[in-house]
Amino acid sequence: MSRVNCLWLAFLAFLPCVHLQPLANEVSLELVDWECRQVVGLFNWNKLREIVVEYADFESPLAMTEFTEAALVLQDPEARRTAFQECPIGAIFLASLNLGICLHRVMEEVTECEDVADFLMASMFRREIPLAVILTSSWPVRSPQKMVFLYERGSHNLSTFWHSLQHSPSLNCEDDEFFAGFLKDLNWAIGQGESLVGKLSKWLFAPKVQELEMDQLRQSNWEPPCRLGWIAIMILKASIGWHTEPRTFFTYAESLRPYLMLLSPWHFLGSSWFLSMLLPHVCQFHRTAFHLDFDQTELMAETHPSLASMLLGSPAMRQSAQAVLSHARPYVVRGEQRLLVYASYVWGEDYVRWLPAYVSRFHELGMHNLIMFCGDETAYEMCRRVEGSACVFLETKTGLHRYTIPLALMNMGVDAFVIDFDIYAFKNLTEKLIVELESYQETPEFLVGGSFGDACICNAFAYYRSTLAVRDFTRTLLAWLYQYPFPHGVTQKALSAFLGEEPMQKTTGSEPWVVKEEILVKQLPPVPRLKWSLLEPGVEFSSSRKLATSGWAGRQEDIVVYHFFHGGWLASESAVDANEPWDEFDIFYNLTCEDTVEACAARREARIRRLLEKSRLGDRRPPTNISCETLEVIDFTVTPSDEKGMDFTVTANSPSSENL
């Protein structure tokens, strides 16, 4: 109800509305087809999207005359509603275009364009669509909102309306020294083009801004001294968080919401704060694949799929089902026999060339129940060439496969051990897994790796027992991540936040497990409490010393699986490219060299021992209760680079173990 009261205030941008609702904390298990691949209605939305994406680089709505006809359909309120129901982001795109065309036509009488303007603002900011979904979907909503001509009209006084808006002393906060100074630099920086954040960091990190942020958090009815300027600062700070720390991003995105809900379209599009041009900075360089290969029901429905339905499902499901039928192996825990598969996923040429050796290593150790999920054609071809392999082809490359894969497998009634590609197995994992599961009073249903130097989890290895609780937990986690897209790293942070801090403890033996959870947002959706614990992070399931918090301790012969931690593995997900050499793959998986077989084997063994030794940190892992958040970002520089436009270099006090 309170939201309805807020709506009519939309044009009175300065009236605070105290009844704003917090972001819903229930997560919908529906994986919305935001890109509208499957939607035909007013338009064939998929076709329309594919075409507009090709024109995505146009500078103003004028260049988009191709789409005038489609945009004009949104003139009609009924059509607008239908469009939004069918394809919300497509409707936002068309409404932006329609508004651009309308504003271009009228010089002064912007009231003519008010209806579609309000529809646009309502669709974007008052409908519970997370900002990142709008900004990372492949619909190019940012292009038509860049209405440069509005600024030209204002600055040349061609339109009294835009001129007075852009020269309003109160909107421009002329009597506030700080904001007036920031506005001046903001205008200069916009004129200079990219790397806005770098040019404005003096303002964004000013003590004054930190004070205001604290006030905002502490006081419930707080009003910023300069509303539009404050929105601009929050947008830019959200964009810094987007590239560094999810928790920061989610905090800013949440704080921004009430402001955006009340923002007037004219202030958004044509004020001298350039808000519609700043907004796309938030999720720069990131595209989310709103498509997960498996169908909605294959992941989210709690049904026991019959063989027939598995064989009629999505291509990914059909192949997974075949792989399970031919490769799942029984294992016995406390007298109960169940089915187990290992699963890993891979794409990209730098990794794929090691795929045959990776699969062969599992086979060599007796684990023939490995299923490889292949994110590109080459990976799939390479996989199929290995004798006895099980390969599934995936069309999409997304970090969310970390959870779609175990879900699809669990839904078929199989337990899944999901393991990263940048690992090397030293021992028969199944044997170890059984020992682990039996060393607790009650059998855990979820086991996950841990971090050496702090009390965090590490999901390079995770065992999912197909129980109702684990399936429901994983579904909610996946749905949340789908609803709140974020670049690399967040899949693990979210898992940590969902799991909490109470792992099961072993009945006998070692130090108690201490785990600290990550905090992403204030409220997470409810999930079942799992019976979960850690895979021993000191030596058995350890990681190479690539981060301040990783490494291992003890004896090499006790290592079961070694995670050599290849940074940049999710390069396709992120703006940051970790330019590291690919050495470890060569050391572990290259069985050939320019010598005899025996000499090569000896050389390989020696190199492995040396490599392991470099990451060894004493005889045993010291107990730790250090939590896993990255510390405050102390330096943020933006450097121009080649074809991507620019790259972010971020220096933090302490690298987080999640910056994989």
Chain residues that interact with ligand NAG, rule: CB under 6 A: 157, 160, 163-164, 353, 366, 428, 430-431, 434, 590, 592-594, 625
For the CB of residue 425, give the shortest distance to ligand NAG in the complex, in Å.
11
- Give the angle 292-297-302 at the CA atoms, nearest 5°: 125
Helix, strand, coil in percent for the chain, rounding step 5: 45, 10, 40
Terminal Cα distance for the chain, rounded: 43
Identify which of residues 385 and 644 has a Cβ nearer to ligand NAG in the complex: 385
Question: Residue 11: CB partners within 8 Å, gap ≥ 6?
Answer: 114, 118, 264
For the CB of residue 317, give the shortest distance to ligand NAG in the complex, in Å.
28
DSSP of 389-420? -EEEE-S---TTHHHHHHHHHHHTT-EEEEE-
Identify which of residues 592 and 596 has a Cβ nearer to ligand NAG in the complex: 592
Pairing of the two strands 415-419 and 457-464 = antiparallel
- Give the angle 300-304-306 at the CA atoms, nearest 5°: 120
For the CB of residue 168, give the shortest distance to ligand NAG in the complex, in Å.
9
Tokens in use for 372? 């490889």
Identify which of residues 164 and 637 has a Cβ nearer to ligand NAG in the complex: 164
Identify which of residues 254 and 431 has a Cβ nearer to ligand NAG in the complex: 431
Question: For ligand NAG, which residue has the nearest CB?
Answer: 366
Identify which of residues 68 and 627 has a Cβ nearer to ligand NAG in the complex: 627
* Burial tier of 368 (Cβ tally within 10 Å: 0-12, 13-18, 19+): middle
Question: Residue 522: CB partners within 8 Å, gap ≥ 6?
Answer: 22, 254
For the CB of residue 347, give the shortest distance to ligand NAG in the complex, in Å.
17
The answer to whether residues 64 and 55 touch, using CB atoms and an 8 Å cutoff, is yes
For the CB of residue 590, give the shortest distance to ligand NAG in the complex, in Å.
4
For the CB of residue 358, give the shortest distance to ligand NAG in the complex, in Å.
11
Identify which of residues 60 and 430 has a Cβ nearer to ligand NAG in the complex: 430
CA distances from 371 to 98, 134, 405, 418, 432 (A): 49, 34, 10, 10, 19
Identify which of residues 434 and 571 has a Cβ nearer to ligand NAG in the complex: 434
Give the residue ranges of DSSP H helices in 45-147: 45-54, 68-73, 77-86, 88-105, 114-125, 131-136
Q: What span, in angstroms and rounded, lies between the C-alpha atoms of 315 and 313?
A: 6
For the CB of residue 180, give the shortest distance to ligand NAG in the complex, in Å.
19
Identify which of residues 111 and 625 has a Cβ nearer to ligand NAG in the complex: 625
Identify which of residues 490 and 559 has a Cβ nearer to ligand NAG in the complex: 559
For the CB of residue 518, give the shortest distance to ligand NAG in the complex, in Å.
15
451, 438, 440, 583: which is closest to 505 by C-alpha?
Answer: 440
For the CB of residue 505, give the shortest distance to ligand NAG in the complex, in Å.
16
